[in-house]
A and B are shown apart, each in its own frame.
Chain A
Amino acid sequence: MDDKKIIKPIQDKLSQHRVAVPDSLWKRVANTLPAHIVWYKRKGLYGAVAAIAAIAIIICCYVANNDCLHCEPSQHICANRTVHQDSAHVESNHNINKQNVINNIIETEQNTLLTKTPKRTTPSVAVVVKPIEPTVRIAENNDTRPINHKEDTVSNDITAHDIVTNDPVIAHYNNDESYYDDKAIKSIGKNYHKHKDQSSFLAFDATTSGQRTVVTPFSSRCYNGEVTFAHKMPFSMRALFEKRFGRWGLGVGLSYTYMVADYEITHNIRQGKQELHYVGIPLYASFEFARVGKFAFYTSLGGQVDINTAGIHRELPESYAYEHFDKLEFRDKALQFSAQLRVGAAFEVTKHFDIFIEPVLGYYFANGSKVHSIWHDTPLSTSIAFGVRTWF
């Protein structure tokens, strides 16, 4: 008889055969398995707690970092008056006469020309020339009037008087109605554009603890030379690639960070927004501590290097500065290194593709930059990151 005909019924009977096993066998098997973390059994509870904690951190970070100028500024920088002392004196007296103003303008112009030479300023001063203060009203017949701000400024329909001077700039000066010639001011103001600092016109050496320091002529002409920054919480977009080892992972990626700060030079002499754009390369190790359905909760620790790709100062129209600039571009060439701790929540879109949100606590190392980013002014700061990650 064919052997296969005999084997077939035996195979059929035995293929579905089962034998009861004692309960003790599972205990023996379980004892040989790798140690089990007990809390992980309650992953639903811990996942929910992690989610609530992550949301709370996000809200706290948002509230803590979104200062405004009406609130306590996130950074005060006090400045010494370094140039244009005479003109500052005139302003501080709030009382001027015609001759004083003429002298002042001539001197200011001379100073303006001199400030083109870095020797006249301290080495840390960014050489920027501000146009002549337009808010000065000159009194006739030794009449004095206090200096007012923009509301009291020029009327172009007032007839000009000649000024006895050989200076072509001052020749434009209109002494008849005691107002500056708008064109003259602007011609001087052109120097500002020639000498604007490449890093930022608000760049100056300053400690982050509000120490007195040297500032640009822009701020030196303020009454007390104080600049305030109110930094808002930065946010980042990241694309990450991870190699997983169970619940551990090693990752690298690309990150884009955008940050905004409101700045104000004392008494609203200048007011505006500073925008900074960074591209960074993060390197980190991660650990997934909970998973609920398609949501994973994890923490990561690593470092990042950020490169400033662009910076912009946008002056607000309500600024008192006579000559407004709409937009001033600059770039900070210093690399920004940081160490970062992240707690994140990721949603699994496909098998190897997640989207995530991460509150970030970072320590940003001093890099000698003069640009006042939140990382410069508050080395230990928080931010929010969104992004995608793929893993294998």
Chain B
Amino acid sequence: MKARVTVTLKTGVLDPQGKAIEGALKSLGIAGVDSVRQGKVFDIELAGHDAVAAEAALKTACEKLLANTVIENYRVEIGA
């Protein structure tokens, strides 16, 4: 079973890396870029086929390590 965990900065948390990327995109002349916020994606292979248990395990993983909930939100998606 595959899963994807996405970790993003909470609204209002300053994101200097996102700002720098935004500046670079604008300087490349990419049209229509208003703002950029950067984050992290984790693609995780899971043993077993219990999607509910997998989601619970990954939420624990996010709380314990993958995200720092002081500044970050996370989203867990269970795939095929």
Whether A associates with B in a native complex is: no
Please report A residues at the B interface, Cβ cutoff 8 Å.
none
Please report B residues at the A interface, Cβ cutoff 8 Å.
none
